[in-house]
Structure 1
Amino acid sequence: MRILCTNDDGINAPGLEVLEAIARQFSDDVWTVAPAEENSGAGHSLTLTRPVRLRKHGERRFSVSGTPTDSVTMALKKVLPSPPDLILSGVNRGANLGDDVTYSGTVSAAFEGALAGIRAVAMSQVYAREGMADSVPFGAAEAWGARALEPLLGMPLPPRTLVNVNFPPLPPEEVKGIRVVRQGFHDYARGSVVEGKDPRGYRYYWFGLHGIEHTPGHETDLEAIQDGYVAVTPLQLDLTHEASLAALAARFA
């Protein structure tokens, strides 16, 4: 089985090493093509206004001067000798839960694989942001990654779908198990934009990543993580709201 590993945190990210170790538990034919630099929040974007460059770092290990989507495209069209059987994206430093998946470069890299008809899984390690910075513990992902991935390998997935996996911010021995749950929803109206001034006196703005609340009305990936479980969620590329089709059609009749 040929496996392609990628991410949005960059070729030197610790989580990518964790992902490669997970992949090697299933195959010796593991390739890595990832962005040269961090691309968190890049979503499903393509680089269209400048050339994309490819750099080789070792046998079967490459970086791309572009987005996660660029990386998967380059892997499939220019790097790998034949298509992979599986694309793994991650292990992201931080959660990709609820509707945050629409911003996520990690999830979008897996979406690009799904578009190409390849089985794709995104993996993310949730962590407590306070005081962590670059010292995010990946213990839960290391211990539970293969256990979450193995049942997915022989399972047929519908076209243009992927599986999104999030690991809770707990030591491996405290993880309660794995839950298959639906995507949750955040309350973005409570998000924040933090304003400051640079040393020259000019204003700048950071989009706040803290304190975005959610209102659980059912079991979702958000609640599964809060309860100490690995959250496994199937996602699809078709964003059509089926229930509105007939009503909209009637408006234009």
Structure 2
Amino acid sequence: MRILCTNDDGIHAPGLTIVEQIARALSDDVWVVAPELDQSGVSHSLSLNDPLRLREVGPRHFAVRGTPTDCVIMGARHILGETMPDLVLSGVNKGRNVAEDVVYSGTIAGALEGTILGLPSFALSQEFSVENRNAPQWDTALKFGPPIVRKVIDAGVPKNTVINVNFPACAPEEVAGIRVTRQGKRNLGFLKVDQRRDGRGNPYFWIGFERLVQIDVPAEGTDLAALAARYVSVTPLRLDRTDDEFSQALTATLK
């Protein structure tokens, strides 16, 4: 099985080493194509107005000065030659990708592009807590990643479906189990715009995050609830975003 690995944290991110180890637990034919620089939050952007610079970092390891989407396209359509990968693994992201994160995440986007290319694709993310922000529990992803990927592949990943896997912020022995979940929704009040001034007194802005005084209780069955209870969350995401229920209502309205 030929596996293409990518991420959005950049070619030197610790999580990329982890995803490669997960891939090597499944196959010896592993290729790594990742962004030259951190591309967190770029979503499913594609470089159309800028050239892509390709650098070989080592055997079967390449850095692309572009987005995760660019990396998957370059890997599958150019670097690997005529033999397409059988599987795309994107991650392991430092930090969870749940709820609305799936819209912004470059990690999710890398897996989405693999799905568009017709390949079984997984987005893998390791949640961290305030206490272990600088030292996430990578061992949790390493322990649970390979068997989850194997079992999902054996079950058969439907076309146009991305598998979003999030590992909880705890040691492997503290994981309560694995849950198949749906995408959750949370209070977006944690987003903030931070205004500052440069050395010349000109204003500039950062979009950032702040801790909420009160955190909403996540709905049961969601990715948020699973992580809160120390379960690995496995969420199938559809590439087709059509709202079928509202389409039916709209059809009746517009007749």
227, 230, 233: which one pairs with 1:228?
A: 230
Partner of 1:83: 84
Task: Give the match for residue 140 of structure 2.
Answer: 140
What SS does the aligned partner of 1:182 have? coil
Give 1:196 deviation, angstroms: 2.4
Structure-2 residue corresponding to 1:22 = 22
Structure 1 residue runs of 5 or longer lacking an equivalent are none
Say yes or no: does 1:98 pair with 2:95: no
Q: State the one-letter code of the partner of 1:159.
A: K
Structure 1 position 149, deviation (Å):
1.7
Letter in 2 for 1:118: L
Q: How does 1:1-253 map to 2 (within 5 A)?
A: 1-81=1-81, 82-129=83-130, 132-133=133-134, 135-211=135-211, 213-253=215-255
Structure 1 CA distance for aligned equivalents of residues 210 and 174 of structure 2: 24
Cα offset, 1:197, TM superposition: 2.6
Return the TM-score normalized by structure 1.
Answer: 0.94
> Would you say how many aligned residue pairs link Structure 1 and Structure 2?
252
1:73–1:218 CA distance, 2 compared to 1 (3 A): same
- The 2-side partners of 1:12 and 1:191 are apart by 27
For structure 2, list consecutive stretches of 5 or more residues without a partner in the other structure. none
Separation of aligned partners in 2, 1:34 and 1:17: 11
Q: Distance in 2 between matches of 1:48 and 1:105?
A: 17
Work out the CA distance in 1 between the residues paired with 2:133 and 2:184. 25
Residue identity opposite 2:210 in structure 1 = H
* 1:136-181, Cα deviation, whole Å (9 max, x unpaired): 3412112222132221121212211010000111112211111111
- Contact 2:190–2:210 under 8 Å retained in 1: no
For residue 234 of structure 1, what is the amino acid of its counterpart?
P
Moved more, 208-217 or 180-189: 208-217
Q: Which amino acid aligns with 1:114?
A: T
Counterpart of 1:246 in structure 2: which amino acid?
Answer: Q
- Letter matched to residue 99 of structure 1: E
Alignment deviations for residues 56-81 of structure 1 (CA, whole Å, 9 cap, x no partner): 11211111110000000101111113
Cα distance per residue 1:95-150 (max 9 Å; x no partner): 101121010000110000001110001100111246734x4341211222213222
Secondary structure class of the residue paired with 1:18:
helix
Residue identity matched to 2:97: N
Cα deviation 1:198-233 (Å, max 9, x = unaligned): 333222222223336445233210011010111111
Question: Which stretch of structure 1 is more off in the superposition, 217-226 or 16-25?
Answer: 217-226
> Partners in 2 of 1:93 and 1:42 — Cα distance?
15
CA distance in 2, matches of 1:76, 1:131: 35
